[in-house]
Structure 1
Amino acid sequence: MYIDSKEYGSFYGRYINLTNGIPLQDLWKGGLNDVLMLMNNLTDEEALVRYEPEKWSLKEVFGHMLDTERIFCYRALAVARGEEEIKGYDHNIYLNNADFDRASLRSLKEQYIISRKYTESLFGSFSDNDLLKTGIVNSSTFSVRAMAYVIAGHEQHHLHIIAEKYLPVVTKTDF
């Protein structure tokens, strides 16, 4: 599906562009499978790896992905129900107050599965008219359907970072 650049803020184009016109259900299913495969092949200790000292751990990246998906679901619901403006959120404040490193990978995996089911259910409940509704989100005009693609593209963005930056460190680390 083609999402017009007028349906989202320019910052979010980098996420939308990663979806390459792939059907949303395929993106969500493939993304979930990729995340779960990754989680299933890591130990809790390996998931604490940071590719540089000040960067997030893998658990924190997973937690950030969860938070962002949940927030975009809320934003989509709010716009679909008629809210006209929703402020942004500071992902660093959320991360600093979450303590994802103490969570088990099993717990993060369960949360991811539940969150994705909710996301699919929520967006599946929207009418075609709801999907086209727009509001101001984080100072940018957004359609509800564009938020669905941001969720998928944001996930792909972080999967690419994990593959490029984290996995080489995990495979070189002697645990």
Structure 2
Amino acid sequence: MFKSALPFMPEFFDRYINQTDDVPMLTILERTQEELQNYDWDKLQALGDYVYAPGKWTVCDIVQHLIDTERILTYRALCIARGEAANLPGFEEDDYALHAQGNQRSLVDLKAELFTLRTSTLQLFRSFNDVMLLQTGTANGKKLTPLALGFIVAGHQRHHFRVLEERYFN
């Protein structure tokens, strides 16, 4: 299903959805998987522990954040697609980053995990039919659909790679 098929734009998440094209959701997940595979990871590796300002995340922290967030978003998609009526919990990204200690891991390991996760994400979303994709649920008090969550996963990745390009390499 295309982005234009979204029955509503989820509050807060429009910033990520708007970074995707109006193509089928599986297509944008595949495209962003290719973007990950084609990215110059050596350039990221060269940054080491660099941060562009005090309190900001290192490259490894950012990649760990992408992994954690994609896992949470896909869990939400699964729950909503299966008819979960409960409000799913939110998460505080800075607390997760602190406890994840992504900066203690190698970028090679994080990259491998992210690639594996995206393959799993694609398999999950391929298992959803149109009815499941348009199920409505709530997470952190915000209405969402699995369709929107697929676009959010892709747009969230693009957002953080744009931050890397604009703030870490300029």
Give, in angstroms, the shift of residue 136 of structure 1: 1.0
Q: Please list every run of 5 or more consecutive structure 2 residues that lacks an aligned counterpart in the other structure.
A: none
Q: Structure 2 length normalisation: TM-score?
A: 0.90
More helix by share: 1
State the partner residue of 2:12.
Answer: 11
State the partner residue of 1:160.
Answer: 162
- The whole-number CA distance in structure 1 between the counterparts of 2:7 and 2:136 is 13
Give, in angstroms, the shift of residue 122 of structure 1: 0.4
- The whole-number CA distance in structure 1 between the counterparts of 2:48 and 2:129 is 39
Structure 2 SS opposite 1:10: coil
- The whole-number CA distance in structure 2 between the counterparts of 1:39 and 1:75 is 31
Q: Quick one: which amino acid aligns to residue 129 of structure 1?
A: V
State the partner residue of 1:67.
Answer: 68
Q: Please list every run of 5 or more consecutive structure 1 residues that lacks an aligned counterpart in the other structure.
A: 169-175
Matched residue count: 167
Give, in angstroms, the shift of residue 46 of structure 1: 1.9
* Distance 1:150-1:143 versus aligned 2 partners, 3 A rule: same
Q: RMSD of aligned C-alpha atoms?
A: 1.7
Which moved further from structure 2: 14-23 or 126-135? 14-23
The structure 1 residue matched to 2:143, chosen from 132, 141, 144, is: 141
* Distance 1:135-1:107 versus aligned 2 partners, 3 A rule: same
Q: Quick one: which amino acid aligns to residue 15 of structure 2?
A: R
Give, in angstroms, the shift of residue 4 of structure 1: 3.4
State the partner residue of 1:41.
Answer: 42
- The whole-number CA distance in structure 2 between the counterparts of 1:86 and 1:136 is 6
Structure 2 SS opposite 1:19: coil
State the partner residue of 2:119.
Answer: 117
Give, in angstroms, the shift of residue 9 of structure 1: 2.6
